[in-house]
Structure 1
Amino acid sequence: MPAVTVPAQASEPLCPDELFNLLKLRQTGIEYRTHEPVFTCEEATDILGDLPGVKAKNLFLKDRKGSRYILLCTEENRRADLKRLASKLDSSRLSMASNDDLAQLLGTEPGALSLLSLLNDPQHKVEAVIDADLQQADLMHCHPLSNRCTMAVDMELLLRLVGDSGHSVRWLSLES
């Protein structure tokens, strides 16, 4: 697989078109669907039909003090117990981060959050936590910074892009 180049300290966030084109270059034959904007997993499921890969649910969380931000990625039907997750992460209480935090830290909007959003976090203020049950996934549904498109991204490529952006991924079992 060719080297993946991610702007490490871009002054401007990547735009959806730039990321879309990067993914098409790096993953030959990538499957994707363009669609009306979606804001929930349920809306996406209704639209995506037979797009291969794991349908992901992404939650943007913050701790009580607002000093720690976490992007949690799990399978769409998995219930996220935030109290248990906070304990596993040795964190204070976790709650959903605001739309303003999402825009400021990851340069994206509600409904467009995915692990690819970390490419817009050159300061590494957001931690990536992925449900350990997704380790065996070959393809994962991701929005390329837009909730108007969903791509079936190769998991190896996705993890390489996240790593090349300077983020590490923490795999965590969300089971009890």
Structure 2
Amino acid sequence: MRGIVGAGDILAVSPQELFSYLETIGVHHETVEHPATFTVAESSDIKTDIPGAHSKNLFLKDKKGQLFLISAKDHTPINLKKTHEVIGGSGRLSFGSPEQMMHFLGVLPGSVTPFGVLNDKELKVKVILDSQLMQHERVNFHPLVNTMTTGLSRDGLLAFLRATGHEPEIMDLPAPPAE
């Protein structure tokens, strides 16, 4: 099921292979194509025409090298200095490198998505879902590239993650201190 070539000899699943996988496990999904977006702010105009909760996704690592993928509602403020205390990391978190992102998730910066765990065959990435995002019936993510948005039910997201061997943790993420 490996389709496109990534960095070096890493092969990553293509969006079409992702869609086939979702269909194989019985997860309904809808995808909209659009111009490339790299940030939550850049995608605001596109989101108005797509129903459901939109996301921001962070690929992080702790000081011991544990990898985390955090998916939250798009405008949820997250205190990264305190997040390790909630998710169980060993010390403060930093962003994973583009090379790590490609190696473990098969995506480039600007395309981070929970769908990337389909590429994490070694189960090295711990998936954290913010409870605010999971309150919505429909959730939206890039399908491995930032020129499309794929919507599915929150139960469909959970079924997908579990089918890949990634049991997600749903929790409240710490907000930055009030100013």
Which residue is equivalent to 1:69?
67
State percent identity of aligned pairs. 31
The normalised TM-score by structure 1 is 0.85
Alignment-mate amino acid for residue 130 of structure 2? D
> Which of 81, 85, 88 in structure 1 is aligned with 2:86?
88
Which residue is equivalent to 1:50?
49
Contact 1:32-1:51 at 8 Å conserved across structures:
no
Misfit runs of 4+, over 6 Å: none
Q: Deviations over 1:17-52 (max 9, x none)?
A: 211344467455x43220121110111222232211
The normalised TM-score by structure 2 is 0.84
Alignment-mate amino acid for residue 87 of structure 2? L
Contact 2:129-2:170 at 8 Å conserved across structures:
yes
Alignment-mate amino acid for residue 129 of structure 1? I
Contact 2:47-2:54 at 8 Å conserved across structures:
no
Q: Deviations over 1:67-117 (max 9, x none)?
A: 101000111111111121111123211011111110011111111111111
Name the SS of the counterpart of 2:70 in structure 1: strand
1:12 Cα shift? 4.4
Indicate the RMSD between aligned Cα atoms, in angstroms.
Answer: 2.1
1:16 Cα shift? 1.5
Name the SS of the counterpart of 1:42 in structure 2: coil
CA distance in 2, matches of 1:170, 1:102: 20
Q: Give 5+ residue unaligned stretches, structure 2.
A: 3-9
Which residue is equivalent to 2:6?
none
In the comparison of the two structures, how many residue pairs are matched?
A: 166
Name the SS of the counterpart of 1:128 in structure 2: strand
Are the structure 2 counterparts of residues 33 and 80 from structure 1 closer, same or farther at C-alpha, using a change threshold of 3 Å?
A: same
Name the SS of the counterpart of 2:59 in structure 1: strand
Are the structure 2 counterparts of residues 46 and 69 from structure 1 closer, same or farther at C-alpha, using a change threshold of 3 Å?
A: same
Alignment-mate amino acid for residue 82 of structure 1? L
